[in-house]
Each structure stands twice: as structure tokens, then as C-alpha cells.
Amino acid sequence: MGLGLSSFADQYEQRALVAAPGSLPAGPAALWVSTWIWPISLAMVAFLFLLFPTGRLRSRRWRPAAWFVGAVFALSTAALMAGATREWAHPSASFQQLVSPPVLAAMVICFPAALVVSGAAIVVRFARSAGEERLQLKWFAAAAVLVVATFIALILTNSNSVAAAILNNLALLCLDAAIAIAVLKYRLYEIDRIISRTLAYTIVTGLLVGLYAGLVLLATQVLSFSSPVAVAASTLTAAALFSPLRRRVQQVVDRRFNRARYDAEKMVAAFAVRLKDTVDPDAVQADLATVAQQALEPAHVSMWMNNGGYDSGSGSSSSPSQMPASFRAW
Amino acid sequence: MRARTARWVAGCAAAGSLALMVGGLILAYVDRHLVPAHVTNWDFSDVFGDMANMAIRVMGFVLLLGGPGTGSAGWHSRRAWGWG
């Protein structure tokens, strides 16, 4: 609500005081609102960090931190409101004229400090989280990394690059979506796969681009091949290397970031090796059930076994109840 | 606070905020030629930023819809705040 009011008040006062003076009533009031309301939106971001994803502080120890963050933003808003009221008759007053130098200095120090404290809250929560809460925080962290990266790009371009601004807004949209996924717990468990795939493709792309550029430079500058031949050979090499390299990198990344999948694949491979030497059907059934249980973690496992008299190669689509089969459940 | 009241308050806040942002965008469009170029908010990145901000309200609205048993966050957040 604060952001909406801030956005509207900005445009309203611009129209009432700059674009068409006198065309709208209460222009100074809109300017007054837009002067002091913006810290409220920032406070909401700080409290999002403090309370996400449970809606509660992590422990009672974080209460002073929450009070500090609340006090910083409340006092800043109050100081700006007082300054805006004092300068009501001077719409062109600068920010330095609104608040006294000591207050301005305190705001410059306390605003980042409050954001750092709330950022620390979510980092600590992530470090000590487990289970579903960890996955919720992983969604948030993955999107937050994008926001920070695009924000750095925005700063590096002095906020002049339209592309950087658009990327930053897209990253903010991703953050919104990540918060929604985390809170709704919809597709919560996909995050490991997303992180692992993103990392793997980023690494593979970097390696292939580096390899391609290196081969082109080697062929054209060192070995003095003609340029089109060198480019074609480099492209073919990079294309040929894509699949094996992706598989290898994916395996390495999965081992670290998508451990569940990595462990499941190891388990299935070990089962395949054991299957070659096992002759007892009961042992195979029990082993298969154990592997399925451990790899997929289903609520229960049941297995239909064909006990002969049924032609499995005929392509029949008989239902299990019509088969001469045995049923076991774990 | 009762769950229904919480839903109404949140819904009204989201709808009001969306309406204010749309109002701001309309004013930015109307004034696009009347204010100096460096002041105008009617350029692609600003409008896109406003759209991204609107998504926050839509997300808040979605999160506060639904009830217990639907798996929605409305229930989680109301429970967390002691509303439901």
C-alpha cells in the first residue's frame, strides 16, 4: 500500500505542481505524502527478511533486531514527515533541507545497518534451517542472488542502462514468484533440480565458449589456418563436446547441489550390478522394493509379479487383477 | 482478527494499491510530453518497473486467498500471524 501511495503521490504532485500547475487540487499535500512515505516500503522489505518464511522471528533473540529495524524506519519516516510539514510552503526544498545534518547522518548509517541486520536474519535462518523451511529459503536465496547480480549490474552502469534496469525488474519478478512458490509450497522440491541445472548449463556454456574462442584464436593466430575453416572446425568441436561435457558437469554439480538425485542414481546402478548375480526371486523382490523405497521415498511400495502362465511378450494389456500373479506390499 | 476480516483487509489493501499504481501510470502517460525528459516516468524501464511492482500486489492477493486444506499460503500466513 505504501509503494502504491508513493507511486501515485509522485505522479500526482508532478502533474499538480509541474506539468499543469493548478489543474489538480491538493498538489502540496501529494508532495508532502511522497516525501515521507518511501521508507515504509523499505521497512516492509526489511521485515520480509526478518519473518520469511514462517511469519515469525526465528527466536526471541531476534526481537531486539526487529525493534531496531522498526525504530529506524519509524523514526526516519517521522523525521521526514516533520521536515516535509516544516517545508510545506517550499515544494522545491532539497532532501538536505528537510532533515538536519545529524539526522541525515544517522539515517545514512542506520538505514544500511537495518537492512544488514534483516539480511543477517535470513542468512542465519538459512544456515540453521532443515527440511521444508530450507527448501523455502533455497527458493528465496536463488531469486535473491539474481536480484543482487542484476542490482550490481545496474550500479556498474550508473543506472543508465535500460537493459540492466529491465533485467533487475525481471529478477524482482523472479523473487516474487520464488516467495509465492515458497509460501504456497507448490513445486517446492524442484529447487535442487533448478539450481543444479542452472549451474551445470552456466558452467558448460562458459567452458564451450572459452574452448571455441581458444580454438579459433589458436587456428587463426598461431597455426595460420584460413578463418572460415577455423571457425567451422571450432564450431564442430564445441558441438561434439556439448553432450559428454554436459553429462560430466551435471554429474559433478549433482553430487554437490542435487544430492538426492545423485544418491538415487548410485543406488539404482548398484542394484543393477547386484541383479546380475542374484538368482533368488524373493531376494530380488525385496531388494527392488528396498531400492524403490530409498530412491523415491514413496508412501508405500507394492509389487505385482508374474508367476507364469501369462504371456508377457504378447503385448496384452490385461489389468493386474486378471493376471496369474502374486502381490506383495511393503 | 477473524480469518474473513483478515482476507478482506488484505484484499482491499492489494486492490487499493493496484488502483493507485494504475492511477500513477495513467498520470505518467498523460504528462509524458508536459514534463522535462529527465523527470518523466513514461519510459520503458520505469513502466516495466511499475509492472513488476504491481506483481507484488497480485502475489499478495494470491497468497491471501484460499483457506485451510487448500495448500494455499493464506492459511499459513493467517496462522503465523495468529489470525485464524
pLDDT of residue A117: 92
Radius of gyration of chain B (CA): 17
Residues A107 and A17 in one domain: yes
From chain A, the residues in CB contact with B73 under 8 A are: 180, 183-184
Residues A137 and A246 in one domain: no
Residues A180 and A77 in one domain: no
pLDDT of residue A324: 46
Q: How many CA within 13 A on the CB side of residue A302?
A: 6
**Cα–Cα distance measured from residue A183 to residue B9, given in angstroms and rounded to the nearest whole number:** 19
Residues A108 and A31 in one domain: yes
pLDDT of residue A328: 60
From chain B, the residues in CB contact with A186 under 8 A are: 71
pTM, to two decimals: 0.67
The parent domain of residue A138 ranges over 130-186
The parent domain of residue B24 ranges over 3-70
Residues A151 and A272 in one domain: no
A 270-329 residues inside an 8 A Cβ radius of B: none
Residues A140 and A80 in one domain: no
What grid cell was written down for A231? 571457425
Residues A266 and A301 in one domain: yes
Residue B84 resides in a domain:
no
Our count of domains for chain A comes to 4
Residue B80 resides in a domain:
no
Residues A222 and A179 in one domain: no
Tell me how close the Cα of A157 comes to any Cα of chain B, in angstroms.
14
Residues A63 and A113 in one domain: yes
Residue A311 resides in a domain:
no
Residue B12 resides in a domain:
yes
- For a pLDDT cut of 70, what percent of chain B falls above it? 74
In DSSP terms, A303 is beta-bridged to A328
Residue A312 resides in a domain:
no
Q: Which residue has the cell 567452458?
A: A207
Residues A71 and A161 in one domain: no
Residue A138 resides in a domain:
yes
**One pLDDT digit (tens) per residue for chain A, 330 residues:** 888 888 888 888 888 888 788 788 888 888 888 888 888 888 988 998 899 888 888 889 999 999 999 999 999 999 988 888 888 777 677 777 788 888 888 888 998 999 999 999 999 999 988 888 888 898 899 888 888 888 888 888 877 788 888 888 888 888 888 888 888 777 777 788 888 888 888 888 899 889 888 888 888 777 777 778 778 888 888 888 888 888 888 888 887 777 777 788 888 888 888 888 877 778 888 888 888 877 777 777 777 777 665 444 444 444 444 444 555 655
Residues A58-63: contacts with CB under 8 Å, at least 24 apart = A58/A121, A58/A124, A58/A125, A58/A128, A62/A121
